[in-house]
Structure formats: C-alpha cells, structure tokens
C-alpha cells in the first residue's frame, strides 16, 4: 500500500507536492489558532472548564513525548529508505518511523479540542486525519505509522488533559483572583 501511495504521489503535479509538504506542518498552525480561540471562548466559563481548555496544549506535548518513547523502543526504519522515490526528503537515520509524531500531534490537538469544544469535531478530526495521511503521501511514513499515531494522539491527549485538570483548576482560580480577563461570567449571564 505504501508503494502505491508514494508512486501515485510522485505522479501528481509539482504544485500538489508543494501543498502536501507545506500542509503537513501548516495544519499544526491551524490547531494552535484553534487552541487560542478555545481559550478565548472559555475565558468566562467555570474554573474547571477553562482549566480543561488550558490543559489541552500541555496534554498534546505529553502525548508527543510518550510517542517519542514508543519510537525509541520500536525503532522502525522509515519506508523512504527502501529506494522508493518520495516527495519529501527522507529524515536522517535514527529518526524512526513508528508512530508518526505528526499524526500524534495533529490527532492529540484534535482530541484535546473536541474534549472542550465538541462542535469543532467536524473540522478538527478530519483535519488531523488529512495531516496524518499527508505523511504517507509525501513518503516518510507507512500507513500503519500514521493510523497508530492518530489513535494514540486522539486518545492520549484528552486522557492526559482529564488527568491534569484537577491540578490546573486551582491555578485558574488563583489567576482569576488577580486578573479581570480571567473572571468568570456572573451566574445567569451568557458566556462571553
């Protein structure tokens, strides 16, 4: 399957190659912007809700760090070392393939965002899936690398956020006491 996808990718026009290479990283900027909007939306929500939103980005970092541990334990070679022409340059030796960190980060971002902003699922989950697939398309990962990375990220980040929300909530409470920006809405008033 990898060879078929990489072969098809190489047959596409140069502009598709450019979009695929840029898209694998540009999507991460979209997720960063969505996190900023999520924090803005939840700034007047109850303490725990804001804390859960703020726990999202560190949970994504935690999911990434755990995926790095898995990578070091499994040490799967990149498929691009097998002599198949690819769009992207093959990462250096020692930069292992399984699981795909891009997939983990994208899916972890989607999972953490959907946890606090369910209506965003229609955008976040498919965007993460496209970013994951793009890693196979440009030739640097096997399909199973991105599938496992996606599942790992989309499950691990919400779990980590939920595990840490208890520690973050008192920090939010303390910050709200010092900054008018973080003040919750009055009871009965609509969330800003």
In order along its 192 residues, the chain shows pLDDT tens digits of 877 777 776 677 788 778 878 877 888 899 999 999 998 888 888 888 888 999 999 999 999 999 999 999 998 888 888 777 777 777 888 888 899 999 999 999 999 999 999 998 999 999 999 999 888 888 788 899 999 999 999 999 999 999 999 888 888 888 777 766 555 555 554 444
Considering only CA atoms, which of 58, 83, 66, 61 is closest in space to residue 6? 83
Do the Cβ atoms of 67 and 104 come closer than 8 Å?
A: yes
| pTM for this predicted structure | 0.84
Distance CA 160, CA 81 (A): 34
């Amino acid at each position: 399957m990898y060879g078929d996808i990489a072969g098809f990718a190489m047959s596409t026009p140069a502009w598709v190659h450019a979009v695929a290479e840029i898209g694998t990283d540009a999507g991460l900027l979209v997720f960063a912007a969505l996190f900023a909007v999520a924090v803005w939306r939840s700034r007047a929500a109850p303490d725990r809700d804001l804390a859960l939103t703020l726990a999202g980005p560190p949970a994504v970092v935690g999911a990434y760090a755990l995926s790095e541990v898995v990578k070091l334990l499994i040490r799967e070679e990149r498929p691009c070392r097998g002599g198949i022409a690819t769009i992207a340059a093959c990462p250096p030796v020692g930069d292992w393939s399984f699981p795909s960190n891009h997939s983990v980060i994208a899916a972890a971002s989607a999972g953490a965002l959907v946890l606090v902003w369910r209506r965003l699922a229609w955008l976040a989950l498919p965007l993460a899936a496209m970013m994951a697939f793009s890693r196979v398309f440009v030739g640097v990962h096997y399909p199973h690398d991105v599938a496992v990375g996606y599942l790992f990220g989309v499950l691990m980040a919400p779990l980590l956020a939920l595990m840490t929300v208890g520690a973050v909530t008192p920090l939010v409470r303390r910050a709200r006491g010092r900054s008018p920006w973080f003040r919750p809405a009055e009871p009965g008033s609509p969330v800003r």
